[in-house]
Amino acid sequence: MSYILSALKKAERDRLREDPKELDDFASAHWDPYQPEPVKDKSWLKVTVVLVPLAVLIGIYFGGAELSQVEAPKIPSAMNDSIAKVVESSVLISDEPSQTIEMQPLPVDPLPIESETLAVPDLIIAGHMYLNQGSSSNRLFIGESSFREGDAIDSVWTLVVINSDSFMIRAGNRVETIPFR
């Protein structure tokens, strides 16, 4: 019977050690899995929940009272009449728009890429991963980036094929094969 009780105690101790809160919890000789954790006092939270809305309401009440006491400057009545006439004459309400604007997209001509003048980009090949010809898992690592077949390497060059010993890039009509070194 004693053997079973000690095994149960050991199992519970091991279970409690699997979820340590800090390194000292399981490395310390003073750690006791049966010691209850201290309950945190959350009374400050209750006070904060009451005081913050109260402060906001007081601020709104007294701020609104100050705004209502400010008076607008007096405008002579003759000036009020002239302002009203100007506003009435400038505001015309009609059901039809006074002017129609037709929006037409401007034609965009793609810039021709002169493949003869393009230089092969200076690429720093960090590595490659070749599984099989045409595999979607084939990768080319340039710098800190990873590229698959069909990805744009830069604004001009596109990765076409990754082979076991080289890769092919294309810009317009020009295709270059670059061997892995």
Q: Which residues contact 122 (CB under 8 A, 6 or more apart)?
A: none
User: pLDDT tens digit string along 52-99?
Assistant: 999 999 988 887 665 555 555 665 666 667 676 666 665 555 555 556
Phi and psi torsions of 2, nearest 5°? -60, -35
The amino acid occupying position 90 is S
pLDDT in tens, 141-179: 988 889 999 999 988 899 999 998 999 999 988 999 999
Domain ranges of the chain: 125-179
| 100 backbone dihedrals φ, ψ, rounded to 5° | -105, 140
pLDDT, residue 51, reads 93
Measured distance CA(42)–CA(48) in Å, rounded: 10
Mean pLDDT of 113-126: 73
